[in-house]
Amino acid sequence: MDHVLTMILAGGAPDALGILGRHRAKTAVPFGGRFRLIDFPLSNCVNSGSRDIYILTQYNPRSLRRHIRLGRPWDLDRDRGGVHILLPYSGAKRTSWFKGTADALAQNLDILKRSRSRYVLVLSGDHIYKMDYRELFHRHVVTGATLTMATRPMKAGDGNRFGMIEADSAGFVKRLREKPGNDFGSDASLGIYLFDREFLIDNLERISEEGKYDLLHDLIIPAIATEKVATYRFDGYWEDVGSLDSYYRANLLLVDSQPSLQLDDPAWPIYTRMENVNPAWFSADSRVERSLVGAACRIEGEVRGSVLSPRVVVEKGASVENAVLLEGCRVAAGAKVHRAILDKMTVIGEGALFSGAEGLAILGKHSILPPGSRHLGQQETSIGELEAKK
């Protein structure tokens, strides 16, 4: 993988993640009681031997930058290569935000030009999967394609969520359409592309002059007609946690004893930055079942089917069921949390109820629910909204 330069697209606003995305980049959204979404592509890179990585970002970059810093948890704190974060900047020729995925790359064309790598791997920063990019790379080299994209068979009905492809029997892409519905191919493109560097540079320059900014529509789809575009068919776990519902489900999947996404596989570690590694405390009154519990949690109540990030406190008589609690939440004595996502540092007051009932309830960062208050049913609420209601 020394011939591969990796560009991770991490600039998107997590619109569909509601209040979870209000204060952070989508790639910095916490996942699985410990990780952030960026940990998955970044760990995949390191495990695949790719150590020359740029992360392109512009939306709420602080949380992401604080997480990555010099890249030490991924062993990417290196003199040559390593990980770098690229933000829009003002220059002598032009000053603009990244206007699209292709524009983000085009604005950093000098990096692509200066690189001695023959290939460029372009990834999304917000998908959860474990992939050995060397297999994609081998497929690319063997087929002699200009562009190879990872694809995966999807469930019926998912044709409205992804870019779907039709391939010929040799595995070359014939057509690609964004969210075409169910009458198209069954395989989706996973947003993982390996380009010949020269091809990518030439085409970025061309479409940029034409005022086009989207990598998929303006560069990849047109290339299918003229270039050899191969597929690398992947059949492992892959999830785009683009909505609150899929985010919730992907988290809760992890509480099974044999989950379809194994996070502690010694052969494919997912690295992350972690400061607090204190053991968690379980009192004599604690009852915990089918759950993930993070470092330095204090559990004195009941926890079932839930994912708890570090430093969560569940007090005596409190109960947490089918919920995702991010770092530092406190569920006070006698309170109940059910079918819910609590963002960082929220407090559920004594005896309060916060439940999505049949739906899902989400409580924003730093919110405090007053003792004894009841919040039942599908909802998204935060401290600001709570105060406005007063």
Partner 1 sequence: MSLKPYGGVSVLILAGGRGERLDLLTNERAKPAVPFGGNFRIIDFVLSNCFHAGFSDVAIFTQYLPRSLEDHMGLGRAWDLDRLSGGLAYMHPYRGFDRSNWYGGTANALYENLSALEEADADHFLILSGDHIYKMDYNDLVARHETSMAQVTVAVRPVPIEQAHHFGIFEQDESGGASAFVEKPSEPKSNLASMGIYVVRKQFLLEELRRRGPSEPALDFGKDLVPNWVDEGSINLYSYDGYWLDVGTLESYFAAHRDLLGSEPVFSLDDDSWRILTSSQPRCPMHIGTTSHLEESLVSDGCRIEGSVVRSIIGPGVVIEEGAEVIDSIIMEDTHISQNCRIERSIIDKRVHVGKKCRIGGSGVGEINAEKPQALFCGLSLIARSSVLPDGFTLGRNVRWSLAAGDNAESRFPDRTIADGASAI
Binding site for partner 1 (CB under 8 A): 32-34, 73, 255, 257, 263-264, 270-274, 276-284, 286, 288-296, 298-300, 303, 307-310
Closest Cα partner for 294 from 303, 307, 282, 275? 307
The smaller minimum CB distance to partner 1, of residues 43 and 107, is found at 43
Position of tokens 């974060």? 85
Strands 52-56 and 127-129: unpaired
Distance CA(55)–CA(184), nearest Å, equals 32
- Nearest approach in angstroms of CB 37 to partner 1 is 16
The smaller minimum CB distance to partner 1, of residues 64 and 263, is found at 263
Cα atoms in the 13 Å half-sphere on the side-chain side of 289: 8
The smaller minimum CB distance to partner 1, of residues 176 and 288, is found at 288
- Nearest approach in angstroms of CB 290 to partner 1 is 5
Distance CA(301)–CA(322), nearest Å, equals 14
- Nearest approach in angstroms of CB 49 to partner 1 is 20
The smaller minimum CB distance to partner 1, of residues 226 and 258, is found at 258
The smaller minimum CB distance to partner 1, of residues 292 and 335, is found at 292
Q: How many residues does the chain have?
A: 390
Sequence-separated (6 or more) residues with CB below 8 Å from residue 360: 244, 245, 248, 339, 340, 341, 378
- Nearest approach in angstroms of CB 281 to partner 1 is 6
The answer to whether 247 touches 342, Cβ cutoff 8 Å, is: no
- Nearest approach in angstroms of CB 238 to partner 1 is 19
The smaller minimum CB distance to partner 1, of residues 188 and 261, is found at 261
The smaller minimum CB distance to partner 1, of residues 110 and 275, is found at 275
The smaller minimum CB distance to partner 1, of residues 43 and 146, is found at 43
- Nearest approach in angstroms of CB 111 to partner 1 is 29
What would you report as the CA-atom Rg of the chain, rounded to the nearest whole angstrom? 22
- Nearest approach in angstroms of CB 66 to partner 1 is 16
Distance CA(342)–CA(101), nearest Å, equals 31
CA distances from 180 to 120, 161, 192, 214, 218 (A): 28, 9, 19, 18, 17
Distance CA(211)–CA(203), nearest Å, equals 12
- Nearest approach in angstroms of CB 30 to partner 1 is 11
Closest Cα partner for 10 from 80, 83, 104? 104
Closest Cα partner for 371 from 320, 326, 314, 331? 331
